[in-house]
Amino acid sequence: MVEVDFVSGSVKKSDVEIVNPDETLHFPTVRGVLEKWGAKLVKDLAVSARQHKASGALESSIGFTIEFDGQFLVFELSLNDYYKYIDQGVKGAKFTHASSANSPFKYTTKYPPLSAIGQWVGNKGIGFFDTKKTKSGKVYKKLKKIAPGKDSILGTIKTLQAIIFKRGVKGTGFYTSVVTGREEDLRKQLIDGFGTDLINNI
């Protein structure tokens, strides 16, 4: 029997015993399928996260593990829990972006944490255009970045917090766009690989 629940699952030996129950079953083909599939999934998710300008912390958290206890091959995709907010977006208290319209998440009374916004500012940097004049009197605009870690930017961070609370967060689809359709492909590969390994265990 093959059981698959995205993003985790297990592969179990057949209910019809065709090998000595005292001997350990080996699943090299199935393991190979999972290792290859998992590596490709991790790579594609990392690329997608990077393309959508997610934090490096999210990208580095993506991993895929396989464990075998003699009866089951258990596999799991892991990544930081907040991936779902980046993927599906969050509806704002006063406004909802089209890309997050179907998101189950919404700001109601709890504001996004200042610490997370401060870290984002530190990683990405924010700034504004300051109007300047040349010696000849010509007006031009110069980008001035706000330096992270200074008390002077606390007000800016609080302003960003209020804006995010009211307008929400756009959904990127970085996760959904990668995993959609892959479960069925994995299921077929596992069934074929499982059959091969059972024959080899006879």
What are 138-153's pLDDT values in tens digits? 776 665 555 555 445 7
**Rounded Cα–Cα distance for residues 192 and 188 (Å):** 6
> Quick one: pLDDT at residue 15?
37
| C-alpha Rg value of the chain to the nearest Å | 25
Q: Which residue has the higher pLDDT, 19 or 152?
A: 152
Chain centroid to CA 174: how far? 7
> Quick one: pLDDT at residue 18?
39
**Rounded Cα–Cα distance for residues 70 and 27 (Å):** 10
> Quick one: pLDDT at residue 155?
78
Tens of pLDDT, residue by residue over 51-70, are: 887 668 888 999 999 887 76
- The mean pLDDT value of the chain amounts to 78
Residue 22 has pLDDT above 60, yes or no: no
Q: What is the mean pLDDT of residues 93-117?
A: 92
Tens of pLDDT, residue by residue over 24-40, are: 556 788 888 999 999 99
Q: Which residue has the higher pLDDT, 18 or 77?
A: 77
Q: What is the mean pLDDT of residues 80-90?
A: 92
Note the helical H segments in the chain: 28-51, 56-61, 83-88, 114-124, 154-167, 176-179, 182-200
Q: Which two tokens stand for residue 95?
A: 């406004």
Identify the band that residue 130 occupies on the pLDDT scale cut at 50, 70 and 90. low
